A = this chain, B = another copy of it.
């Protein structure tokens, strides 16, 4: 609609390169990592990287991994913006659970209409974060910077607010639902078990809760400002 030049598939590659680069703190993304996340084989990734490099969306030196160019990053951020806005829509307007929305957003993120994205953003009240706590890039392609810590890095008896998750699998999110751990809830680490490094938590200053170390490492929190 707004541009014909970039395919669905190319958008997906650029988005995944962005997210993996972010996860690796700015380091190059490898062919095998991309193959895993695109559900294809390394050979297919190599082909696509050659093509994306030709179009100047990535910087690519054979065998050395890839990094997005400014142009590529802008496309990636546009896709991520749409993905996260649609996730907000699905949860806030249609009443989906945060564990049900990702695959639908994977499709909606490719709908091509600047005007639609703008109106959707306004309709949702210009949200800054998606239902998983991930920041939503603005219409200029700027990603809000956030600095969260893992719950597993927080000292004992420190009150924190739950701000996000670093794993988005339905299984993990449903697990949190069952324990009543939601975005914005209050958490305090009371004790870490010597036996299995599991966590004894206080939820919202009321409820005792036990979670595995695995859970604690995938909860993103912020020191309470109050």
Contact = CB atoms under 8 A, between A and B. Distances in A.
A1 B119 contact: no
Of the listed residues A95, A113, A123, the one surrounded by the most CB atoms of chain B closer than 10 A to its CB is A113
A218 B94 CA distance: 36
Interface string A95-122: 1100010011001100111011001100
A81 to B, nearest CB: 16
A67 B97 CA distance: 41
Assembly stoichiometry (copies): 2
A119 B100 CA distance: 13
Interface string A118-150: 011001000000000000000000000000000
Nearest to A112: B107
Nearest to A107: B111
A168 interface: no
A116 B93 contact: no
A119 B104 contact: no
A116 B115 CA distance: 22
A120 B93 CA distance: 9
Contact of A111 (B94, B100, B104, B119): B104
Nearest to A122: B94
A84 to B, nearest CB: 17
A96 B119 CA distance: 9
A90 interface: yes
Contact of A1 (B96, B104, B111): B104
A108 B111 CA distance: 7
A120 B94 contact: yes
B95 A119 contact: yes
Nearest to A94: B119
A116 B94 contact: yes
Contact of A116 (B90, B111, B119, B123): B90
Interface of A: 1, 90, 93-96, 100, 103-104, 107-108, 111-113, 115-116, 119-120, 123
